[in-house]
Chain A
Amino acid sequence: MATVSQSFMKLFRGSADSGSGAKATPATTRLTRRSSGLVELARILQSEDPLCVLDLGSTSAANIRYMTERGHKIYSEDLLEASTDPSLATRDEQGKAVLDSKRFLSENLVFSAAQFDLVLCWNLADYLDETLVKPVVARLWTTMRPGGMLLAFFHTQEAGPDAPCYRYHILSQDVLEMQHIEARKDMRKGPTGAVHTSIHKTFRLQRVFNNRHIENLFRDFTSIKFFLTRDNVREVLVVR
């Protein structure tokens, strides 16, 4: 999988380095989109029993409100920002710059086992450093209850290398608001990682997963469901 994705990113880098002229999305721009995955989740969110929800996107008051108004507990943990910690940088056996996934997981996603009924992963896997993607998914598996659900978004190849990174706010049971994430200036100075390879003032798409890659990424989970959308994003609902 890594080989394919790396090859694909070479194409991305080539186009970006040559000045593709991508239009930067203003940080204030907010778009809305209908989410089929969210519609599926609405059924379990109507549960009378309080659920335990993990939001892996940037802190969103809207998401916290949405969940707590329904009596659920919500945990917020911005993994993308956490991955930009320059002290995570290290070298692998070949001397290649990577992020220390063990240390990352000792500081993040530290929860008791089988805790979460729902994980909102959003577009994390597309923008997270390659080193961290599989370890993070493996850790999520351990923290989710059997039958728990995970919602993730993956770009299609048509999205292009400069697809803006969004944070997602839940507006209703089928509508999301997308807010462009503007990385902090000090986030772009590290030796590796999603932000560090960016030539723009934002997080940069690291790879594009095809359906086979996605199935492989979540191979330990019970089931996986794809929702095709019109905006070059696939929504994926995975059941633990």
Chain B
Amino acid sequence: MDPAKTGEFAHIGKSVIIKGELSGSEDLNVDGVVEGTIQLQGNNLVIGPNGQVKADIHAKSVVVQGKLEGNIWASERAELRKSAAVVGDIFTQRIAIEEGAYFKGKVDIQKEAARTASSITTRSESSAEGKSASGTAKSAAPGIVAAGVAGTPVTKA
């Protein structure tokens, strides 16, 4: 699930600022600033330790290590790592919250998952952190499209 381990993901580096609508059909790792909306239906999103996102997010799975202000619609799973600070509501089937994560908002487990026992897990502190820090926009694979107003360098088409 962790796209950082597969190498097949688009990456928004920590010096990148994107304002507007971000959509795509592949996994995305955000270590920069994104304001607007993120649409990754069927794909995974990782907000890295340096990531600062103010957006509503639609994705298959969402892993937050940085800061997020906005709602999460994760069709499969949402995960808040210990460095995460999330203000917003989470709608998902499964959720994992690491010790130390900050969360302000609502958790709404979707009905399919509510019937499943142990839909929520508590991660241990020793779990791996994403290794995605990058000084620039490393790459944006063809599936990612940024629409709207860009601050500093935006993803490539």
State the A residues within 8 Å of B (CB).
59, 61-62, 64-65, 68-69, 71, 73-78, 81
Identify 18 new A-B residue pairs, CB closer than 8 A, beyond the known A59-B103, A69-B118: A59-B101, A61-B96, A61-B99, A61-B120, A64-B95, A64-B120, A65-B119, A65-B121, A68-B109, A68-B114, A68-B119, A73-B107, A73-B108, A74-B106, A76-B103, A77-B105, A78-B102, A81-B102
Chain B residues numbered 67-109 whose CB sits less than 8 Å from any CB in chain A: 95-99, 101-109
Q: Is the CB of B102 within 8 A of A59?
A: yes
Q: Is the CB of B104 within 8 A of A78?
A: yes
Q: Is the CB of B104 within 8 A of A76?
A: yes
Q: Is the CB of B105 within 8 A of A75?
A: yes
- List 17 contacting pairs A-B, 8 Å CB cutoff, sorted by A: A59-B102, A59-B103, A61-B96, A64-B95, A68-B109, A68-B120, A69-B117, A69-B118, A69-B119, A71-B114, A73-B106, A73-B107, A75-B105, A75-B106, A76-B103, A76-B105, A77-B105
Q: Is the CB of B101 within 8 A of A74?
A: no
B122 at the A/B interface (Cβ < 8 Å)? yes
Q: How far is the CA of A142 from the CA of B109 in the complex (A)?
A: 26
> Least Cβ distance of B74 to chain A in Å?
14
User: A59 — which chain B residues lie within 8 A by C-beta?
Assistant: 97, 101-103
Q: How far is the CA of A75 from the CA of B108 in the complex (A)?
A: 9
> Least Cβ distance of B83 to chain A in Å?
13
User: B117 — which chain A residues lie within 8 A by C-beta?
Assistant: 69
User: B107 — which chain A residues lie within 8 A by C-beta?
Assistant: 64, 68, 73-76
- CB within 8 Å for A62 and B122 given contacts A68-B114, A69-B117: yes
State the B residues within 8 Å of A (CB).
95-99, 101-109, 114, 117-122
User: B109 — which chain A residues lie within 8 A by C-beta?
Assistant: 68
Q: How far is the CA of A75 from the CA of B118 in the complex (A)?
A: 19
User: A77 — which chain B residues lie within 8 A by C-beta?
Assistant: 104-105
Q: How far is the CA of A129 from the CA of B99 in the complex (A)?
A: 26
The 5 closest A-B pairs by CB, nearest first: A65-B120, A61-B97, A61-B122, A68-B109, A59-B103
User: B121 — which chain A residues lie within 8 A by C-beta?
Assistant: 61, 65
User: A71 — which chain B residues lie within 8 A by C-beta?
Assistant: 114
> Least Cβ distance of B90 to chain A in Å?
9
A81 nearest CB neighbor, chain B only: B102
User: A73 — which chain B residues lie within 8 A by C-beta?
Assistant: 106-108
Q: How far is the CA of A146 from the CA of B108 in the complex (A)?
A: 23
B115 nearest CB neighbor, chain A only: A71
User: A69 — which chain B residues lie within 8 A by C-beta?
Assistant: 114, 117-120
Q: How far is the CA of A81 from the CA of B85 in the complex (A)?
A: 13
Q: How far is the CA of A73 from the CA of B91 in the complex (A)?
A: 10
Q: How far is the CA of A64 from the CA of B99 in the complex (A)?
A: 13
User: A65 — which chain B residues lie within 8 A by C-beta?
Assistant: 118-122
> Least Cβ distance of A154 to chain B in Å?
25
> Least Cβ distance of B82 to chain A in Å?
11
User: B114 — which chain A residues lie within 8 A by C-beta?
Assistant: 68-69, 71
> Least Cβ distance of B113 to chain A in Å?
8
User: B98 — which chain A residues lie within 8 A by C-beta?
Assistant: 61
